[in-house]
A and B are shown apart, each in its own frame.
Chain A
Amino acid sequence: MTEVCECLGCNVGAIVPDFKLETYAPAKGDFGEVSLETLKANKKWTILFFYPADFTFV
């Protein structure tokens, strides 16, 4: 039987569930939080850029 991948990366066109992330925001020099719910409320596009680790090349 073929397994179907449920992850979002394999499901372009899917609605992304709301999520929150703690952040460090260099523009403010302070910690903060981003939430998809807030970004959507502000009519913003969101680009998520994952990378393996700080202190390495991105």
Chain B
Amino acid sequence: MGAEVITVSTDTKFVHLAWQRDEKMLKDVKYPMGSDPTGNLSRMFGVYDEETGLALRGTFIISPEGKLLNSEVNYYNMGRNIDELMRKFKANIHLSKHTDEGCPSKWKEEGDKTLKPSAKMVGRVSEAYE
């Protein structure tokens, strides 16, 4: 899909290997499992917890030009919605090819209605949806 998904925790690559081999849920995992034992990358993104040495549940989408386009961080006890991650990813791809458009919250996939912000739309967003 033109994207490299990299999972990252502060565990070493050796622990990643052991976990992936041991946990049946991970038997079909294809993406590289990144290791950040120093916490340097986690700190750079602001997800490092100095008290525990662990990374919070942060998800970041970076464009092929190296620009950070989405940032989401959840506390330890809340999982992420993969459908929402995919929605954001697909919207980024669309917007990178249609730079004068905006993807509203209900945009789910290619073909869905986008908006073209302009003076005409000011105060008339509901009409623009029709």
A residues near B (Cβ < 8 Å) are 5, 7-19, 21-27, 31-32, 34, 36, 39-40, 43-55, 57-58
Stretch at the interface among B69-77, B107-115, B122-130: B69-77
Q: Is the CB of B67 within 8 A of A34?
A: no
Number of interface residues of B (CB under 8 A): 62
- Complex Cα distance A23/B30, Å? 12
Interface of B is mostly: mixed
Q: How far in angstroms is the closest Cβ of chain A from B97? A: 13
Q: Is the CB of B61 within 8 A of A47?
A: yes
Encoded as 1 (CB less than 8 Å from any A CB) or 0, chain B from 8 to 48 comes to 11110111111110110010011111111000011111110
Task: Collect the chain B residues with CB atoms within 8 Å of residue A16's CB.
Answer: 62, 66-68
Q: Is the CB of A19 within 8 A of B44?
A: yes
22 example contacts (A-B, Cβ-Cβ < 8 A) are as follows A5-B46, A7-B44, A22-B13, A22-B35, A24-B14, A34-B4, A34-B6, A34-B34, A36-B62, A46-B4, A46-B6, A47-B6, A47-B89, A48-B8, A48-B59, A50-B7, A50-B8, A50-B45, A51-B9, A53-B11, A55-B15, A55-B22
